[in-house]
Amino acid sequence: MFTQNATPIKIIGMIVVLFFAPRSLAIEKEGLKPLDIFEFESATSPQISPDGSRVVYVRNHADIKTDGRYSNLWIVDASGENHRPLTTGHFHQMNPLWSPDGTRLAYLSDEDGSLQIHVRWMETGSATKITHHIEAPSAISWSPDGEMIAFLALVPSTPEPIAKLPTPPEGSQWAAPPKVITDLVYRFDQRGYLKTGHTHAFVVPSLGGTARQITSGNYHHGGAFLTREAPQWTPDGKSLILAANRTDDFQKDLLQTEIYEFSLQGKMKALTQREGPDISPAISPDGKRIAYVGFDDRYQGFQVQNLYIMNRDGSDPQVLSRNLDRTVSNPQWAADGSGIYGLYDQHGNTRLAFFSLDGNHRDLHQDVGIGGSAYPRPQYSVSRNGIYAFPHTRPDRFGEILVGSATSNHDYPSRVVVSVNEDLFKQRELGTVKEIWYASSKDQRRIQGWIMTPPNFDGRKKYPLILEIHGGPFANYGDRFDIEKQMWASQGYVVFYSNPRGSTSYGEEFGNLIHHAYPGDDFHDLDDGVDSVVEKGFVDSRNLFVTGGSGGGVLTCWMIGKTTRFAAAVSAYPVINWASFTLTTDIAGFVSQYWFPCLPWEDPQHYWDRSLLSVIDQVETPTMLITGENDWRTPISESEQYYQALKLLGVEASLVRYPDEAHGIRARPSHHFSKIQHIVGWFERYRTKSRGQ
């Protein structure tokens, strides 16, 4: 109430405070909305300058009008100041890399219509395209003197025709010619039907000029088949070190890579020789040793990838990570040659570590990652003086770059220098994530999981629950940001996810509990996790739902084939029939060697016992199938089989097909949020409303 002695000015001031208060006081935060998919940005590939003073990174964004995804380059001081764009526009600009002296930046850009290598002079801002390659270059690296840039590119080949066909008359409009296929791997997820040819290493002057091919032969170079690892220059600038699969049957033996040295004159020397992959070489600053990762292949579903070191000539290979029992990736030498940086996962959390040459390691930082359901392997970089930069994520943080120091002689506390979603997070209330551990009823093994509760959660109420299962199957979830789960939580669902047996980051023995036995006992790990959440008292046991993608889609169908506790299920891009999958997937050689003990016709019963059709007669749960029509990893024919089988059995079912989408359904932002909404929409159809909600 106004007092009698209140002046008109005071009254007006109070009215202003009441009616024109700051938004943070006047408006309550809302949960995430489907269209926020277009608002989210990610910050990836941070490259710190050689002197540790600046970081260039790739800023990825979506455009609501074109329904497309784009990427530009941004730069920020290591202090977090002077944050600004280097490039702009609806282009795809990626793979930034500082020149050795820090004066120039090489990167890939399609701003002129095709993806090519560009170089920017940092002092003036001038930039030029230095390649005009017919096939897009990738995986670039600077020579030590900054005079040359190495890269990988496809060298096309023309297969010998089978049929001799007449030439169409001038002006005629004949049908497109047939695709003639002779390779085992002729299409690949995200890439579509492959051009015939082989990937080779090239070098080009950093000021522009004619590229020169260094490698030769009908083999793929730069890592395992269809991967692209940048060639590594020797310190004298005379040779390139890179991994390649130069076996005669490389499309079948996908993991049989070795480390090679190729001189710029074309001479080749194999530096490793064993059964198993050797990849990601990194040469020491003095040029005397090479670090790399790999393992002795035992054809298991999961094998820990160790960090190795050997002499420059390939002699005296040693395991540096022998005491870790975790997969190490992305090795990079310290500037003083005292050890090697690398990444590894521990209990669903990616860590940056330093491995000394005596085999010990120390963690530098955790929470490395980009976030999201796809859990891609992040990139990091380290300057000559030990300042590092990496993408940082937590369950409530996404789109961040963190800078820290790897050495004790720097008074340099870790700090977030980029946070591209901070403006959106200030307007949105996120779900809260808590970690749990519980015992599996199968063998009392401890299983790690996470519970995401909705915004404005009230523990006295009852909420519907979504069990979300990760794919891989040899992968992991963790305490990372996840857009899809946050979207479901914002619509009033508790979301539970865990790392059942077979998940990575718990050691090789735990990962191989599903070797030649997947799906299988992972059912108990997941079902017991649901019980653990229900016992907490805030979940309505009448409203339990299950979903997952890829391997998570497999386990979704496995769950509903074993229990009727779920009110509805959504299986996204699953494998249903292991025999048909093995003969239609883009990784047939890998699946038949590592996930099964034989080919489908050699032991059809083994394939059938693990197929989801073997338990489909027990399914009563209303089920939706979601798959991209251009998914070559788990082709849509797998979903079609399950959908039609359910229909024949009289089970309520729906099939959602996404045109022009590959595995994961993320190419178009509108398709991404459509997938999220179709999943929750299916659950809403079968949800029983609880009192108190």
What percentage of residues in the chain have a pLDDT greater than 70? 94
Could you write out the DSSP letters of every residue in 267-281? -EEE---SSS-EEEE
If you average pLDDT over residues 439-459, what whole number do you get?
97
- 3-class SS at 286? coil
Note whether 321 and 307 are within 8 A (CB): yes
Residue 653 lies in a domain: yes
Residue 118, CA distances (Å) to 128, 586, 646 in order: 6, 32, 53
In this structure, of 176-190, 301-315, 328-342, 580-594, the range with the lowest mean pLDDT score is 176-190
Taking only the tens place, the pLDDT of each residue in 308-361 is: 999 999 999 999 999 999 999 999 999 999 999 999 999 999 999 999 999 899
Taking only the tens place, the pLDDT of each residue in 533-552 is: 999 999 999 999 999 999 99
Residue 486 lies in a domain: yes
Taking only the tens place, the pLDDT of each residue in 379-404 is: 999 999 999 999 999 999 999 999 99
What pLDDT, on a 0 to 100 scale, did the predictor assign at position 693? 46
CATH assignment at residue 477: 3.40.50.1820
Tell me, what DSSP letter sits at residue 559? H
Instruction: Write the CB contacts of 456 (distance below 8 Å, at least 6 apart in sequence).
Output: 429
- Per the DSSP assignment, residues forming a β-bridge with 351 are 344
Tokens of 444: 């009392």
Note whether 299 and 596 are within 8 A (CB): no
Residue 21 lies in a domain: no
What pLDDT, on a 0 to 100 scale, did the predictor assign at position 233? 98
Is the pLDDT assigned to residue 5 strictly greater than 80? no
Please, is 157 exposed, middle or buried when counting C-beta atoms within 10 Å of its C-beta (0-12, 13-18, 19+)? exposed
Residue 571 lies in a domain: yes
The CA dihedral of 341, 345, 350, 356, to the nearest 10 degrees, is -20
The CA dihedral of 323, 327, 331, 336, to the nearest 10 degrees, is -20
- 3-class SS at 45? strand
Q: Which one, of 34, 120, 31, 113, lies nearest residue 74 by Cα?
A: 120
Is the pLDDT assigned to residue 26 strictly greater than 50? no
Taking only the tens place, the pLDDT of each residue in 146-160 is: 999 999 999 999 888
The number of folded domains in the chain is: 1
Q: Which residue range forms the structural domain that includes residue 528?
A: 432-575+621-685
Question: Could you tell me the pLDDT band of residue 245, with boundaries at 50, 70 and 90?
Answer: very high
Sequence length of the chain is 693
Question: Could you tell me the pLDDT band of residue 375, with boundaries at 50, 70 and 90?
Answer: low
Residue 446 lies in a domain: yes
Instruction: Write the CB contacts of 159 (distance below 8 Å, at least 6 apart in sequence).
Output: 180, 182, 196
Could you write out the DSSP letters of every residue in 233-256? E-TTSSEEEEEEE-STTTTTSTT-
What pLDDT, on a 0 to 100 scale, did the predictor assign at position 27? 58
Residue 229 lies in a domain: no
* Interior angle at CA 507, CA 406 and CA 434, nearest 5: 75
Residue 323 lies in a domain: no
Residue 517 lies in a domain: yes
Q: Which one, of 473, 497, 503, 499, lies nearest residue 485 by Cα?
A: 497
Is the pLDDT assigned to residue 501 strictly greater than 80? yes
Q: Do the strands 349-356 and 278-283 form a parallel or antiparallel pair, or are they unpaired?
A: unpaired
Bond prior to 169 in cis (omega within 30° of 0): no
Is the pLDDT assigned to residue 18 strictly greater than 60? no
Q: Which one, of 564, 552, 392, 568, lies nearest residue 485 by Cα?
A: 552
Question: Could you tell me the pLDDT band of residue 253, with boundaries at 50, 70 and 90?
Answer: confident
